[in-house]
Structure 1
Amino acid sequence: MRKTILIVLAFIFCMPLCAQISYDEINSSKLNSVRQLKIKLPKDYDPSSEIKYPLIIVFDGDYLFEPIAGQVDFQTYFDDMPSSIIVGVVQGSERRYDGYCDEVTGLPKESGLRFHDFVAEELIPYLDEKFNTSKFRVAVGHDLMGNFINSYLFKEDPLFNAYVCISPDLSGTVRDYLGKRLEFFKDDIFYYMATSDKDLPYIREAVLNANSQISEVKNQYLTYYFDDFKNDTHYTLVNSAIAKSFDKIFELYKPLREKELEEKVLTYEGTLDKYLVDRYDRIEELFGIKKPITEEEFEKVVKVAEQRNDLESLEKIGKLAKKLNPESLLGTYYLAQYSEKVGKTKKAKKLYESALTLNDVSHINRDFIFSKIDELTIVDTDEEEGGEEEDNEEN
Structure 2
Amino acid sequence: MKKHLLISCVVLFCTSLFSQTIYKELPSRALNTTRDIKIKLPNNYDPESLVKYPVIIVFDGDYLFEPVLGQVHFQTYFKEMPESIIVGIVQGEERFYDGYFDELTGMPFESGKRFYDFVQNELLPYIDNNYKTSPFRVAIGHNKMANFINSYLFTDEPVFQAYINISPDYKGTMANNLTTRLGHLKNDVFYYLATSDKDVSSIKNTIRETSSVLKTLDTQKLTFYYDELKGDTHYTLVTGALSKALDKIFEIYKPLDEKEINEKVLTYEGTLDEYIVNRYERIEEYFGIIKPITEDEFAKIVSIAEERDDLESLQNIGKLANKQDPESALGTYYLALHAEKLGKNKKATKYYESALTLSETIVIDKEYIKSKLKNLQDLATDDNERENEDEEN
**TM, length-normalised to structure 2:** 0.92
Tell me the CA shift for residue 13 of structure 1. 4.9
Instruction: Output the CA distance in 1 between the equivalents of 2:228 and 2:12.
Output: 26
Measure the CA separation in 1 of the matches of 2:181 and 2:9: 38
Gaps of 5+ in 1: 1-6, 386-395
Aligned positions of 1:195-210 closer than 5 A: 195-210=195-210
Query: Do the aligned residues in 2 keep the contact of 1:167 with 1:207 (CA within 8 Å)?
Result: yes
CA contact under 8 A between 1:13 and 1:71: conserved in structure 2?
Answer: no
SS of residue in 1 equivalent to 2:173: helix
Q: Which amino acid aligns with 2:272?
A: L
* Cα offset, 1:375, TM superposition: 3.1
The question of 1:166 aligning with 2:160 is answered no
Once superposed, what is the RMSD of the aligned Cα atoms? 2.0
Residue by residue over 1:139-189, the C-alpha shift from the partner in whole angstroms, topping out at 9 and shown as x without a partner, is 000000011100011122211000000000012222113222111112211
- Work out the CA distance in 2 between the residues paired with 1:72 and 1:199: 25
Structure 2 CA distance, aligned partners of 1:9 and 1:203? 38
In 1, the alpha carbon distance for the partners of 2:240 and 2:10 equals 10
Aligned positions of 1:158-307 closer than 5 A: 158-307=158-307
One-letter amino acid matched to 1:244: K
Superposed CA deviations along residues 110-160 of structure 1, whole A, max 9, x for unmatched, are 111111111111111111112111111000000000111000111222110
Q: Which amino acid aligns with 1:45?
A: Y
Alignment partner, residue 314 of structure 1: 314
Deviations 1:7-36 (A, max 9, x none): 999877534233111211111111112111
d(CA) in 2 for partners of 1:18 and 1:153? Answer: 31
Q: Give the Cα separation in 1 of the matches to 2:43 and 2:179.
A: 38
- 4+ residue segments displaced more than 4 Å: 7-13, 365-368
Distance 1:96 1:74, change over 3 A: same
Per the alignment, residue 17 of structure 2 pairs with 17
Say yes or no: does 1:106 pair with 2:106. yes
How far has the Cα of 1:92 moved from its partner? 0.7
1:65 aligns with 2:65: yes
- Matched AA of 2:314: L
Deviation at 1:80, TM superposition (A): 1.1
Q: Which amino acid aligns with 1:128?
A: D
**Partner-residue secondary structure (3-state), 2:141:** strand
Displacement, 1:365?
A: 5.5
> Which residue of the partner structure matches residue 148 of structure 1?
148
Structure 1 pair 252/12, CA: closer, same or farther in 2 (3 Å)? farther
The farther-off stretch of 348-357 and 77-86 is 348-357
SS of 1:276 mapped into structure 2: helix
Matched-pair contact (CA < 8 Å) for 2:156–2:186 = no
> Which of 86-95 and 344-353 deviates more?
344-353
Corresponding residue number in structure 2 for 1:46: 46
CA–CA separation in structure 1 for the residues paired with 2:42 and 2:294: 21
Maintained 8 Å contact 1:14/1:69: no
Q: Distance in 1 between matches of 2:369 and 2:95?
A: 65
Letter in 1 for 2:182: L
The AA in structure 2 aligned to 1:59 is F
Letter in 2 for 1:229: L
C-alpha contact (below 8 Å) 2:55/2:136 kept by paired residues: yes
Question: Could you tell me how far apart the structure 2 residues matched to 1:244 and 1:307 are?
Answer: 34
- In the alignment, what sits opposite 1:389? none
1:326, CA displacement in angstroms?
1.9
Rounded to whole Å, the distance in 2 between the matches of 1:13 and 1:270 is 46
CA contact (8 A) 1:13 1:70 kept: no
Question: Map of 1:349-368 to 2, 5 A cutoff?
Answer: 349-364=349-364, 366-368=366-368
- Letter paired with 1:173: T
- Deviation for aligned residue 1:203: 0.3
Read off the aligned partner of 1:234 and give its amino acid letter: H
Q: Which secondary structure state, in structure 2, belongs to the residue aligned with residue 302 of structure 1?
A: helix
Q: Which amino acid aligns with 2:310?
A: D
1:160 and 1:9 map into 2 onto residues whose CA distance is 35
Structure 2 Cα separation of the partners of residues 118 and 332 of structure 1? 53
The AA in structure 2 aligned to 1:359 is S
- Aligned partner letter, 1:301: I
Q: Which amino acid aligns with 2:101?
A: C
Mean Cα displacement is larger for which, 156-165 or 346-355? 346-355
Confirm or deny: 8 A CA contact 1:10 1:71 kept in the other structure.
no
**Equivalent residues of 2:104, 2:173 under 8 A apart:** yes
Change (3 A) 1:8 1:194: farther
2:47 and 2:336 map into 1 onto residues whose CA distance is 43
- Rounded Cα–Cα distance in structure 1 between residues aligned with 2:322 and 2:269: 23
Question: What is the CA-CA distance between 1:378 and the residue it aligns to?
Answer: 4.1
Instruction: For residue 285 of structure 1, report the CA deviation from its aligned partner.
Output: 1.8
1:293 to 1:11, Cα distance in 2 relative to 1, 3 A: farther
Partner of residue 390, structure 1: none
SS of 2:230's partner is strand
| Count of aligned residue pairs for this structure pair | 379
Query: For residue 155 of structure 1, what is the amino acid of its counterpart?
Result: T
Stretches of structure 2 lacking an aligned partner (at least 5 in a row): 1-6, 388-393
Distance 2:244 2:160 in 1: 19
Counterpart CA distance in 2 for 1:75 and 1:33 is 36
Q: Distance in 2 between matches of 1:15 and 1:24?
A: 19
1:9–1:267: structure 2 CA closer, same or farther, 3 Å change rule? farther
Q: TM-score, normalised by structure 1?
A: 0.91
Write the mapping of 1:23-42 to structure 2, written as runs, cut at 5 A: 23-42=23-42
